[in-house]
Homo-oligomer: A and B are copies of this chain.
Amino acid sequence: MTAADLRLPPGPVDLSALDSGATPGFDGDKKAGKGALMALGDELSDLQERLYAEGVADVGHGRALLLVLQGMDTSGKGGVLRHTVGLVDPQGVSIHSFKRPTEEELQHDFLWRIRKALPDKGRIGVFDRSHYEDVLIGRVRELAPKKEIEERYDAINAFETEALGAGITIIKCMLHISAETQRERLLARLDDPQKHWKFNPADVDERALWPKYQEAYEIALERTNTEVAPWYVVPSDHKWYRNLAIGQLLHETLLAMNPQWPAADFDVEEQRQRLLTEVPLQ
């Protein structure tokens, strides 16, 4: 599998034509998929640490990586965090979950809280939901005037261009599931008392608006699918494929960023001698 298998082509988007149960670019089964993700782990860890080292050493132009996770309820944003993002050192990761905006956040432009959450140099940032909610639930539930919603797509593109200019490479993933998969997963939550806390009756109300959400996604995907920050549609009916696919996207993106171990900005031999010739300390 490569990123190209998941890259959304430019132009109009028809999600119903994209098979959410497919496993593009991967021939193996669940067991092979899990194995392939584990096999990526060490390399992901190594690349992440190099990126982090660049940040600490203040080289590499202050680069960072931002993974944006969007998807309908139960599509598995949490699972990706646990199983894929969880493969690398948690010190190098900053995760932001965007919930319903607070009163303070509502008093600012919709990108205000997003800007504040951008990853520091050297980090892998992850957005669990994001500014896209403002053109998804924002559009479906008419949380802002129509004209304002329309203006947000361009605002998002400008913002993402600006972020790239500041050294932040963005990977945007839409975790694509079918309505039937969501139904099965919601029922599974009801069947397992250990998962009741994940269930909210309001999720079923939201589900009734499924077609409207799919339409809002199609519009958002089409209008913000830029060269600067392209969209990847990740078929997510199979959890193992979803986790592997995002691991692969992270891996390819980090490889392309090619972070390097920073060189010493001090005289290594001089420091070695200091340690070897010091007076005893204890």
Given contacts A210-B281, A211-B282, A89 and B91 within 8 Å (CB-CB): no
Tell me if A266 and B82 are in contact (CB < 8 A): no
Determine chain A's interface SS by DSSP, over half rule: helix
Q: Mark A171-204, 1 if CB is under 8 A from B, else 0.
A: 0000000110001001100100110111111001
In the complex, 24 of the A-B residue pairs with CB atoms within 8 angstroms, ordered by the A residue number, are: A53-B198, A57-B197, A81-B89, A81-B91, A82-B89, A82-B90, A85-B90, A179-B282, A183-B278, A187-B272, A187-B275, A193-B264, A194-B261, A196-B261, A197-B261, A197-B262, A199-B271, A200-B266, A201-B271, A201-B274, A204-B271, A204-B275, A207-B278, A210-B281
Copies of this subunit:
2
Other-chain contact of A196, B82, B89, B91, B264 (Cβ < 8 Å): B264
Q: Is A254 an interface residue (CB 8 A)?
A: no
Question: Which of B194, B261, B276, B278 contacts A193, CB < 8 Å?
Answer: B261
Rounded to whole Å, the gap between the CB of A47 and the closest CB of chain B is: 13
CB interface residues, A 256-273, toward B, < 8 Å: 261-264, 266, 268, 271-272
Residue of B nearest to A270 (CB): B201
Chain B residues with Cβ below 8 Å from A85 are 90
Q: Judging by beta carbons under 8 Å apart, are B271 and A190 in contact?
A: yes
